[in-house]
Amino acid sequence: GAVVSQHPSRVICKSGTSVKIECRSLDFQATTMFWYRQFPKKSLMLMATSNEGSKATYEQGVEKDKFLINHASLTLSTLTVTSAHPEDSSFYICSAQGRAGGNNEQFFGPGTRLTVL
């Protein structure tokens, strides 16, 4: 099956710094990648949809200047949390969707736990 990786799996940073999270589709080309945020014991909340070569589409209430998304290639999307604050601490999950082939399944990464001190 399709594999999606995320790096790093865990990051701790000081308040005010920026953190970059990578999402890679390892064995398929992902035309669309999604970034989710999951709070403890809560559901996944879609933050943004990222299409290769174009600007990301952010969900209502998500600050695009705070959460910078880049989808430079068909196998890589990055999420940068700028000037991180403790309230940004969360579990960030990406998913990748390949080219249409009758199957629009999203394949999920293992997630990145961000802790901002």
Residue 67 touching another protein (CB under 8 A): no
CB of 105 to another protein, least distance (A): 6
Residue 42's contacts (CB-CB under 8 Å, 6 or more residues apart) are none
Q: Is 47 left (phi over 0), alpha (psi -120 to 50) or beta?
A: alpha
Residue 73 touching another protein (CB under 8 A): no
Q: Contact 14/81 with Cβ under 8 angstroms?
A: no
Residue 9 touching another protein (CB under 8 A): no
Q: Is 86 helix (H, G, I), strand (E, B) or coil?
A: helix
Which residues in 88-107 contact another protein (CB under 8 A)? 93, 95, 97, 104-106
Which residues bind to another protein, rule: CB under 8 A? Answer: 4, 32, 34, 42-46, 49, 93, 95, 97, 104-106, 108-111
